Structures are given as C-alpha cells and as structure tokens.
Amino acid sequence: MKLSNLARNMGGSAIRAMYNEALKMTDTVSFTVGEPDFITPQVVIDEACDAWQRGLTHYTPNAGIPELRQAIAEYHKDDLKPDFQSEILVTCGAMESLQLALLTLADPADEVILITPAWANYFGHIAMCGAKLKEVRVTEETDFVPTVEQVRQAITPKTKLIMINSPSNPTGAVIDAETLKGLAELVVEHDLFAISDEIYSRLVYDRLKYTSITSFPGMRERTVYISGFSKMFAMTGWRLGYTIANPDIIRAMTKLHENSASCLPAPTQLAGARALRDCQDDVDRMRDIYEKRRNLIFDLVSDMPGVKVKKPKGAFYLFVSIKELGIKSADFCMDLLRKTGVVTVPGTGFGDAGEGYIRITYATSDENIIEGMRRMKQYLVEKLG
C-alpha cells in the first residue's frame, strides 16, 4: 500500500511518545499535555445539556450560529470590532482555524515564517498546505522573543506570511509591544499577512498589558486572528475555536470549512456563547491560579542544579534549558521518566530549535508540582554527583 507523501512524512507528536512510555509505568507525575486541569464552568455545561435536551441536534450554519458569532463580536467590541456576519468563522478548535488559514493564504511555492521553538502542530499545518517553512530561531537569551532584524532577514520575495503565537506554546514568551510594532511594520512594508494565534492571550501574568499585533496600523486587514475556548474556559474537549479576519478571507475559509468539519454542534456553540457572556470571572480566577503555580514551579526549578530557566510571562509552560548537562533532550526526558516517573516533553518536539530544552506544563495541581519537582531535583543532584 502506498500512502500519500504527506501521510508518510507527517511527524508523530513527541508528547504522545512520552505519554505512551508513561502508560507502561505506575506512580508517574505528568507535566505533558497542554490543557487546563479545571473542569469547564458548570453554567456552560448546563447550557449545552439543555440544548441537547431541547433537540438541537441538527446541522448549523457553516460560519457558526448567529448567537455565538454575536457573542464573539461583543467580546471583541473594544479591540478587533468584527462584523459578526462577515468577519467571524467558528471552527473545530483553534486547530482547524489555523489549518484553514494556512490553506487559504499559502500556496506550495510560498514561504511561511515561523518563530521556533513552536507548537508542534504548526509544522504539520504548514506541511499540509505544502508551503515552505522558514524558521526564525529564538533562545532564552532574548526571552524566546525574536528581534525584528531576525525576522527581516528571513523575508524573501517568496514570503507570504508570518505566524505569531504570543503568549507562546512551548516557551511561555510574550512578545512585547515594541517588537510587535516592528513586526507589523515588516508585514505592511513587504505586503505580507500574519496569522496570529492568540489562544493564550488571557493567560498573561504580572499584570502585564497584553498587546495584539492586530492593534498596529494596517494590521487588522492583514491579520488572521485566531483564538478559542480551550485555554480560556477550560474547554479543550469541546473543540471550539474561531477566526476573525477580513470578509474575503473569512468567505474563503468558510468554503474550506464547509468541505471539512462543515459546522459545529449547536449545543457546543450555545455553550461557547454562554461562556463568553457569563464566565469572564472564571477566566480571571483560573489565570490567578496559573500565575501562583508559575511562581511555585519557577522557584522550584530555579533551585535545581544543571538547569536554567527564565520566568515565562504567559500560557502555562516552562521551557527549561538542560544545555549544561550535554545530553539530548529526548534522552534526558526518557531517562527522567524511567528513573523518577516524571513526564516532561523534549524541546525537540517543538522543532530542532528546541534541542537542549524540556517543556514542563504547569496546568496541574500544586501537589503534583511539588512532588514532580522534588523528584526531578533529586534526579539532577544524583546525576551531577
């Protein structure tokens, strides 16, 4: 059987590899999957249950039910100010938005700039549209934020768009307003697009003011803004995300969506609208808890020998340098797992630029953080003799 080139070349997730290995063990403490450990707010669950009971079991409009698009427009009334009829598309998670955005904007001859280490699925999405990946590599020396000059140097006549993810998975980096402004100017100057994945925009710490690239001159019409309910409202399993972009892009993405997921269940969408309307306090409550956990885990990791860590400003990931140990990150993570039961993800799961790092997700309880980091410290102390 000969499968397509795409299917044969699509990489497996490093998270899965660790997860599968961990399944063979007992007494593990996991810091792998990037999802909130909270349960979706009860009113959201009730809203969906009620809708199912009322028999809302049919297909819905491809772009999303008006109630949800109106709620999204209302939520963004002070920043993107989208027209709910023509500038919003509801998708199967931010994941589908990302895939459709790339398929809508990039052809195989085009180059797509990606700041790496980057969320693993971006590599898959770029491969699926056939475009050429152009990496801009960042390290902890610049807090995992690219310089405008680095990005300028990556631009060629074939560049079509740049992907932005701030706060970032896997590094937790938040791109500062000054750099975003510089990137926006590059996009306008070179007649490019930006795909801005802002799914973690509500998870920013230290009272930092969040800035979106869409806020700079000329960027609202050149940006495909992507977000979703997974991280904000602890709704990963609901598979609900959305795109805001200019009407031409939304129309094209909606056609592609019609040919893939088609539409989302009405109860899920009504639940999303309810979350946006009534659960903003829950978002703040969860954010405050993540911030406390970030402080806790940062202090614990900073106290370990052989590793270095910068305090992340957003999302719920710590990207820890193990370069001093001189071990490949995949080998380190596997050895740490087998000897201590602590499950982490090798930085190489986020591109080659992630070699020398491991990702630790802190969307887990204080008890897990304390126990997992105790084991990791002991492992490092013994290793370094």
Query: Is-contact 126 195, C-beta < 8 A?
Result: no
Q: Find the shortest distance in angstroms from Cβ 95 to ligand PLP.
A: 3
According to the binding rule CB under 6 A, does residue 268 interact with ligand PLP? no
Rounded distance, CA 153 to CA 178, Å? Answer: 18
**With 0-12 CB in 10 A as exposed, 13-18 as middle and 19+ as buried, what is 20?**
exposed
Among 241, 265, 346, 356, binds ligand PLP (CB under 6 A): 241
By C-beta, is 32 or 230 nearer to ligand PLP?
230
According to the binding rule CB under 6 A, does residue 236 interact with ligand PLP? yes
**Number of other residues whose CB lies within 10 A of the CB of residue 343:** 23
According to the binding rule CB under 6 A, does residue 169 interact with ligand PLP? yes
By C-beta, is 199 or 304 nearer to ligand PLP?
199
Rounded distance, CA 224 to CA 196, Å? Answer: 6
Q: Find the shortest distance in angstroms from Cβ 92 to ligand PLP.
A: 7
- Tell me the C-alpha to C-alpha distance, in Å, between residue 172 and each of 34, 117, 204: 12, 11, 9
H/E stretch holding 319: strand 317-321
Among 28, 32, 116, 230, binds ligand PLP (CB under 6 A): 230
Among 36, 228, 265, 272, binds ligand PLP (CB under 6 A): 228
By C-beta, is 124 or 341 nearer to ligand PLP?
124
Total residues in contact with ligand PLP, by rule CB under 6 A: 13
Which residue's Cβ lies closest to ligand PLP? 93
Site string for ligand PLP, 121-160 (x = CB under 6 A): ----------------------------------------
Q: Is the dihedral of CA 8, 14, 15, 20 positive or negative?
A: positive
Tokens found for residue 108 = 């195989």
Stretch that binds ligand PLP, among 10-18, 48-56, 89-97, 328-336 (CB under 6 A): 89-97
H/E stretch holding 30: strand 29-30
By C-beta, is 163 or 304 nearer to ligand PLP?
163
Region for 93 from its dihedrals, namely left if φ exceeds 0, alpha if ψ lies in -120 to 50, beta otherwise: left
- Indicate the angle between helix axes 42-53 and 266-278, nearest 10 degrees: 150
Angle at CA 346, nearest 5°, toward 345 and 351?
Answer: 115
Among 60, 165, 179, 201, binds ligand PLP (CB under 6 A): 165
Rounded distance, CA 28 to CA 337, Å? Answer: 8
> Using CB under 6 A, which residues numbered 91 to 120 contact ligand PLP?
93-95, 119
Q: Find the shortest distance in angstroms from Cβ 148 to ligand PLP.
A: 22
Rounded distance, CA 101 to CA 125, Å? Answer: 9
Stretch that binds ligand PLP, among 88-96, 150-158, 177-185, 375-383 (CB under 6 A): 88-96
**Number of other residues whose CB lies within 10 A of the CB of residue 132:** 15
By C-beta, is 199 or 330 nearer to ligand PLP?
199
> Using CB under 6 A, which residues numbered 27 to 86 contact ligand PLP?
34
Contact positions vs ligand PLP (CB under 6 A): 34, 93-95, 119, 165, 169, 197, 199, 228, 230, 236, 241
